[in-house]
Structure 1
Amino acid sequence: MLMKIVLSVALCVFVSASEPECSRFHYEEKTLEKIIETEIYVDKIKSETDIMQQRMSDKLEGIQEDWEKTKNELNDANEDSKKVLEEIKDKVESLSTVQAVAFLAYNIKNTAPSDGGTIVFSTTHFDVGSSYNNETGIFVAPVAGIYMFTLHLCLTGNRFVYLEIDTTKGPILKGRFIDDGSEYHSCQTATTVAELGIKEHVWIKSGLSTSGPDLWKHSYIWNSFSGALISAVAK
């Protein structure tokens, strides 16, 4: 009996030594290692996923910011386009409503104008566009465009006067009318063209002259100031 027990123990020791993988503890250790490796792998995937989600979130926020900026720029551009269209519409309407601009005024109020004073022509022969004021002597351009102006003045004998056709932006003609004879009066004419903006003013400004009544006024002659729109210009 004792011999059988010894043989059985020896057999178990031999089997255990020859097949260690059959040990329950060895299996549990391997299983634990796999679980730990799996958890590490899962944590790695989760970390990479979080990083990827953060990057995607940042990109989406950037896209959203770019879209908001683009939307605001589109709105601003739309408003600017509306303003430009309104301005073009107003200009087209102003050009279409004013078919012609022209005036002729004569009969000077003062034959001895002061230096720097405005020469006023008090009688309006015609005024298409209602642009010339025969009380102030000022023409106001109803539309932007190219205009022609003509000044015709008669001087008493042996006198002179410096003159300008002046505008809001400055003179468009400078000159001197002179009568160098002692027996007869003379009449002289000056013509110029100018580009005017809408509502720009034009008038005749007197400069240095001889003393007394330099300009000659008579029933059978006209001292006159005239102007006409040659071509409208859209601005």
Structure 2
Amino acid sequence: MMEPGTYDNLDVEIELKNRTEQDNIYETLQHGTGELADKTTPSPKKCTPLLFWCTLVNSILIGLLIIAVSVSLYMCINVSKASNSKESMVSVALNVENIKKDLEKSTSGLNDLQAVTGELNATCKDGLLDLSNKFAALEKQINELDQETEKKTQTVAFNVMDSYSITGNGAMKFSKIVLNEGDSYDNDTGIFTAPIDGIYQFNAHICIKKGVQSVNYYIKVGDNSIVTGEFFVPDEANDAKCTSFSAAALVRKGENVRVGGMSFSELDRQNDDLSSFSGILIRAA
């Protein structure tokens, strides 16, 4: 039988022994690993000329291969672009052809439109000319109607009295104008000038001095008498004697009308025995 404390020493010895064995194993493993490393690690080789040239050739071949691949890719891309360009050119050519056809159609339509426009212009021109002629004719008719209306509504009348002389052509002149509507009677010449064609009525009244046996008288249109006569004064007359005469006549525009036939010395000019001459437009002709 063991004494107390003997077990404790035994445990210490066992533990020391185990540690020693572990250390030996660790060293053995380390040593083995080092030898294995020395055996497996190759020693550096020397660079020979053959290896250099082989490496250079390989590099060149790789570069050529890269260039060949690049060229092939470039050609493929260009072929693709050329194909696309060709298709685009074909498409453009088709579009140009279509545009050309459309232009031809438009040109044809424009020619047709110009032809129709020419016909319409000719028609319109003829129509406008005809319309212009009709307007001119209508304007002429309106002017004629205006003239006719003016003639029908125009007032022409005169009345003069108190004879004071007789002109060289035998026209009696009067000093007092009572009426001269239309300003057709000329007091300086004693002549009435017709302003328009028409039917006129003319009247004359003459007073002859006492002691004159007879006088001639007339009313003339131009050189034609429309009334003429001779007036006899009675021998037993104590004062001047008067007579009246009248006539209607067609007088054209511009013709002259006058009264006369006697000498001025035969006329009486007393206040109650005044000669006179008058006329009036009855109707325009």
TM-score (norm 2): 0.47
1:91 aligns with 2:147: yes
- Distance of 2:205 and 2:259 partners within structure 1: 11
Secondary structure, counterpart of 1:180 in structure 2: coil
| Residue identity in the other structure for 2:227 | L
CA deviation profile, 1:179-230 (whole Å, cap 9, x unmatched) = 12342210110011101111221011325x6xx8211011223210001111
**Helix, strand or coil: the match of 2:148?**
helix
C-alpha deviation, 1:91, in angstroms: 3.0
1:232 counterpart residue number: 284
Alpha-carbon spacing, 1:226–1:137, altered in 2? closer, same or farther (3 Å): same
Asked if 1 retains the 8 angstrom alpha-carbon contact of 2:206 and 2:243, the reply is yes
Q: 1:135 aligns with which of 161, 168, 188?
A: 188
Cα 1:97/1:118, change in 2 over 3 Å? same
Note closer, same or farther for the CA distance 1:157–1:197 as it changes in structure 2 (3 Å cut).
Answer: same
Instruction: Say which SS state the counterpart of residue 199 (structure 2) adopts.
Output: strand
2:226 to 152, 165, 172: 172
- Structure 1 equivalent of residue 178 of structure 2: 125
Distance in 1 (CA, whole Å) between partners of 2:183 and 2:255 is 14
Distance 2:222 2:140 in 1: 26
User: 2:208 matched to 1:155?
Assistant: yes
Q: Return the offset for 1:90.
A: 5.9
Aligned residues, how many? 152
**Distance across 2 between alignment mates of 1:83 and 1:172:** 39
| Whole-angstrom CA distance in 1 between matches of 2:169 and 2:157 | 26
- The answer as to whether partners of 1:146 and 1:230 remain within 8 angstroms in 2 is yes
With over 3 angstroms needed to count, the CA separation of the structure-2 counterparts of 1:162 and 1:153, relative to structure 1, is same
More helix by share: 2
| Counterparts of 1:119 and 1:204, CA distance in 2 | 6
User: How far, CA to CA, are the matches of 1:173 and 1:106 in structure 2?
Assistant: 19
Measure, in 2, the Cα distance between the counterparts of 1:128 and 1:90. 20
Work out which structure has the larger RCO, using CA pairs closer than 8 Å and 6 or more positions apart in sequence: 1
SS in structure 2 of the partner of residue 172 of structure 1: strand
Higher strand share: 1
Gaps of 5+ in 2: 1-129
Q: Kindly indicate whether residue 200 of structure 2 is the aligned counterpart of residue 144 of structure 1.
A: no
Query: How far did residue 168 of structure 1 move?
Result: 2.1
What percent identity do the matched residue pairs reach? 28
Alpha-carbon distance between aligned partners in 2 of 1:165 and 1:83, rounded to the nearest angstrom: 40
Match of 1:67 in 2: none
Superposed displacement of residue 146, structure 1: 0.8
Determine if the alignment matches structure 1 residue 184 to structure 2 residue 230: no
Q: CA deviation at 1:97?
A: 5.8
Give 1:71's aligned residue.
none
Say which one has the larger Rg.
2
Matching of residues 57-136 of structure 1 within 5 Å? 85=141, 88-89=144-145, 91-92=147-148, 94-95=150-151, 98=154, 100-110=155-165, 113=166, 116-136=169-189
The residue type paired with residue 179 of structure 1 is: V
Could you list the runs of 5+ residues in structure 1 that have no partner in the other structure? 1-73
Change (3 A) 1:158 1:86: farther
Aligned partners of 1:157 and 1:180 also within 8 Å: no
Q: CA deviation at 1:115?
A: 7.8
